[in-house]
């Protein structure tokens, strides 16, 4: 069931790992993340982390792959970081930011002002003739994904014209309109 869990995790330069019973902490140039774990054991051997399970029961196999993936994402986050890009498709849709406040004009009567946590770096790009783009980046993959999902939920892309907030590269299933 868990082939992912068997793969060792390579530790890049500048990343330190502190393994305590039930908690692992990863520090790197972009920040520090910690994760609690159970039902698996983690060992550090010559620049690699190895996650192993005590038995072949279904719950141990599932947690084996889960914690290996979470730890791998933590290591990637503190060394390289994660970025999500959102695109605003629609006439009059605009995005701007003042520090950590994102100001969105999405066709409602009032603008939406969304406060982002300090761990997420925000950037808005507005070029003439192109759709506005919101760039979110952080060392925490889970936090960036949840913030991007909240922003997308303000105006989900609709299937007829494709207007709304979508991820860059996301394919929107389009429907045919009325047939006369």
Residue 96: beta bridge partners? 103
Mean pLDDT, rounded, of the chain: 93
Q: Is 61 left (phi over 0), alpha (psi -120 to 50) or beta?
A: alpha
Q: What is the mean pLDDT of residues 31-45?
A: 93
* Per-residue pLDDT at 1: 46
pLDDT of 2 > 80? The answer is no
Q: Among 3.90.930.12, 1.20.910.10, 3.40.50.720, 3.20.20.450, name the CATH number for the domain at 9-79.
A: 3.90.930.12
pTM of the model: 0.88
The domain locations on the chain are 9-79, 82-167
Q: What is the mean pLDDT of residues 87-96?
A: 94
pLDDT tens-digit profile of 119-147?
999 999 999 999 999 999 999 999 999 99
CATH code for 82-167?
A: 3.90.930.12
70-98 burial by CB neighbour count: b if 16+ within 10 A, else e?
bbbbbbbbbbebbebebbbbbeebebeee
């Amino acid at each position: 069931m868990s082939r992912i869990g068997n793969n060792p995790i390579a530790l890049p330069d500048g990343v330190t790992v502190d393994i305590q019973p039930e908690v692992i902490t990863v520090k790197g140039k972009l920040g520090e993340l910690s994760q609690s774990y159970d039902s698996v054991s983690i060992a550090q051997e010559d620049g690699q982390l190895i996650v192993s399970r005590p038995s072949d029961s279904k719950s141990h196999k599932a947690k084996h792959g889960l914690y290996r993936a979470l730890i791998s994402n933590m290591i990637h986050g503190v060394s390289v970081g994660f970025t999500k890009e959102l695109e605003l498709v629609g006439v009059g849709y605009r995005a701007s930011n003042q520090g950590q406040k994102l100001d969105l004009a999405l066709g409602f009567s009032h603008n939406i002002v969304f406060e982002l946590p300090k761990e997420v770096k925000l950037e808005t790009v507005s070029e003439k003739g192109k759709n506005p783009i919101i760039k979110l980046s952080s060392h925490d993959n889970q936090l960036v994904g949840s913030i991007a999902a909240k922003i997308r939920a303000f105006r989900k892309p609709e299937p007829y014209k494709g207007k709304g907030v979508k991820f860059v590269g996301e394919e929107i299933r389009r429907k045919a309109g009325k047939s006369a």
